[in-house]
Amino acid sequence: MRGRGKSVFLLMLGALALAAVFVWMSEGGGQKSPIRLVPSTHNVGATGTKALYLLLEKLGCDTGRWKHPLDDFLSQDAEMLVVIQPSLPVARKEAQALGRWVRKGHTLLLIGDNSALFDEFHIEPVEDPDPSSGDGSVSVQVTGDSPYLRNVRKMALQSPFRLSSVSSGKMLFSDGKGGVLLSQDLGKGHVLALCDPHIADNTGIKEEDNSILLTNLIHENCADSKVLFDEFHHGYVEQRAAREMITPGMRIGIVQIVLALVLFYLSRSFRFGAARPMPSKRIRSSLEYVISLANMYRKISARSIAARSLARGLKRRMARALGAQPNAPSETIAELGAKRWTISREELLQAMNMASRGAKSDLLSDRELLSLAQQFEAIWDKTRASGPRHK
């Protein structure tokens, strides 16, 4: 039962972790950018455009904020998209997707520097050669017969940035520095470009007739339809709920995985029959091997074989202790032993000859074999006890 309780605990822990992940992923809403200088409709500072957003809401416009990449914009039913000087770079594929959306009959309003989008829609920026002339707001007299300029007598401009069209665009208004308002047809739709973001920010919208110009631009194109402001490129990202990301096929797969985990843990939690201990490995000592070998020699009366094994063992031990080859002659081992130990050469040679003679005897009894083994061991003990010879 202890294993079952552990498996159930792990199953509950996994379910809680999965639920926590889904709750975290299901939290919608937007991540607000900490930057206060971006021309975002969330920004109430001088460079923000929240005043324009609230003005359009008060006038009855159906407004909204777009917080996804622009290549996802094709799925929207909005009639107009407003992009005000992006703070983050616009990818090439986003610009191309936006071009396809405009060609289907929609309107794109670009305010300020939109370099990536200018390339897509063949609009060329023009910089004032004297940037110092753009310091502070300048009132400009407006002339023109475009519906976008209706009731617009003066315009307050601050940026030295101006526009120029390299294709069939129509310049609706220009001042001494260059194009201010440009209109360009693209497929069934068209693109409007306004050079100065100051016209739309919370400070500039109150100056001259800037607010009238902006409301004209939006009302003339989407009086009864939705207009969206790009917030994704100002750092505002909307997280989609987990249920929106999971397709029906994925739901079936998740259910199957959960059922498989449940069955796995249940199979580990039950057993058929009483618990049995694991079989232990039997460990045999080297003494058992020696006893078995001795009994085998004794049953077949192979005492001479046992004696020869003892003699070879004594010779190998001496050769290993002296650094000689195991098959070296007895005379060589005796000479090396006499140089190293305090035993004479004759005594060592006599001991090894005695071992060889005893091993060659075929008429050994059990007692004689035991005595021979004791003599071999006494010889080995004597060599070890003799110690090294001092020079």
**What per-residue confidence (pLDDT) applies to 390?**
52
Q: Maximum CA pair distance of the chain?
A: 139
**Positive/negative CA dihedral, 33, 34, 37, 40:** positive
Strand ranges (E), 88-241:
107-111, 123-126, 138-141, 154-157, 162-165, 170-175, 178-186, 189-194, 226-230, 237-238
Tens of pLDDT, residue by residue over 4-61, are 556 666 666 666 666 655 555 554 444 444 445 688 888 888 888 899 999 888 888 8
Tens of pLDDT, residue by residue over 124-160, are 888 765 555 555 678 888 877 888 888 888 888 888 8
Q: Identity (one letter) of the amino acid at 376?
A: F
> Band of the pLDDT at 73, cuts 50, 70, 90?
low
pTM: 0.54
> Band of the pLDDT at 359, cuts 50, 70, 90?
low
Percent of the chain's residues with pLDDT above 90? 1
Tokens representing residue 366 in the block: 């059990």
Q: What are phi and psi of 363, to 5 degrees?
A: -115, 35
**What per-residue confidence (pLDDT) applies to 31?**
45
Mean pLDDT (the chain, rounded): 77
Number of helices and strands in the chain (H, E): 12, 13
Cα–Cα distance measured from residue 90 to residue 374, given in angstroms and rounded to the nearest whole number:
97
Tokens representing residue 325 in the block: 């080859």
Q: What are phi and psi of 122, to 5 degrees?
A: 60, 45
Residues with Cβ within 8 Å of residue 353, at least 6 apart in sequence: 330
Cα–Cα distance measured from residue 370 to residue 306, given in angstroms and rounded to the nearest whole number:
10
The arithmetic mean of pLDDT across residues 295-306, rounded, is: 72
**What per-residue confidence (pLDDT) applies to 338?**
79
Tens of pLDDT, residue by residue over 239-270, are 555 555 566 667 777 778 888 887 777 776 66
> Do residues 160 and 113 make contact, with C-beta atoms less than 8 angstroms apart?
no
Instruction: Tell me the CB-side half-sphere exposure of residue 186, using CA atoms within 13 A.
Output: 25
Report the DSSP beta bridge partners of residue 164.
124
Cα–Cα distance measured from residue 322 to residue 318, given in angstroms and rounded to the nearest whole number:
6
**What per-residue confidence (pLDDT) applies to 74?**
63
Is the model's pLDDT at 388 over the cut of 70? Answer: no
**What per-residue confidence (pLDDT) applies to 8?**
62
Tokens representing residue 259 in the block: 């059922």
Element (H, E) at 6: helix 2-26
Is the model's pLDDT at 304 over the cut of 80? Answer: no
**What per-residue confidence (pLDDT) applies to 317?**
82
